[in-house]
Amino acid sequence: MVLSNPYVLTAAYFGAALLAVIIFLAIFEMVTTYKDWEEIKKGNLSVAMATGGKIFGICNIIRYSIEHNDGIGNTLLWSTYGFLLLLVAYFTFEFLTPMFRVDDEIAADNRAVGLLSMVISIGVSFVIGASIT
């Protein structure tokens, strides 16, 4: 079987992970009120930190999924489930800060909120990843 070759298998996991990251980031882009890449192009460091945290979080979940599953299919299934949990964490952060809207603060380049958003995405990804079987 061609996937028994470690080079081919690595390339397959890489390709699947890259596609998953693109899809998951597109979903995150749909749920935020700002346009990530437009804001980053303008130099909005808060959006860059929040987006970087999302990328790290997604990749970390995929890493745990690869490590704990046999086959690309199961890896993608667990990665998707982990991403959905990461999305729940994002909405929970918004809910737990009723005194301001997280998206509005990040769009306004509030770096404290951008940094906190990044750390939440990264931290929660480790919790999600540790529970993946």
What per-residue confidence (pLDDT) applies to 3?
75
- Alpha carbon 93 to its chain's center: 15
pLDDT in tens, 41-66: 999 999 999 999 999 999 999 999 99
Does the pLDDT of residue 1 top 80, yes or no?
no
Q: List CB contacts of 79: < 8 A, sequence separation 6 or more.
A: 17, 20, 58, 61, 62, 65
Q: Is 109 left (phi over 0), alpha (psi -120 to 50) or beta?
A: left
- pLDDT-derived band of residue 4, with 50, 70 and 90 as boundaries? confident
Structure tokens at 4: 């028994």
pLDDT in tens, 78-87: 999 999 999 9
**Boundaries of every domain in the chain:** 2-131
Average pLDDT value for residue range 26-40? 95
Q: Distance between CA 100 and CA 66 in Å, rounded?
A: 37
Structure tokens at 86: 């990461």
pLDDT in tens, 77-129: 999 999 999 999 999 999 999 899 999 999 999 999 999 999 999 999 999 99
Does the pLDDT of residue 70 top 90, yes or no?
no
Does the pLDDT of residue 2 top 90, yes or no?
no
What per-residue confidence (pLDDT) applies to 69?
84
Please return the burial class of 31, using the count of CB atoms within 10 Å of its CB with bins 0-12, 13-18 and 19+: exposed
What per-residue confidence (pLDDT) applies to 124?
97
Q: Distance between CA 79 and CA 66 in Å, rounded?
A: 9
Rg of the chain over Cα atoms, rounded to whole angstroms, equals 16
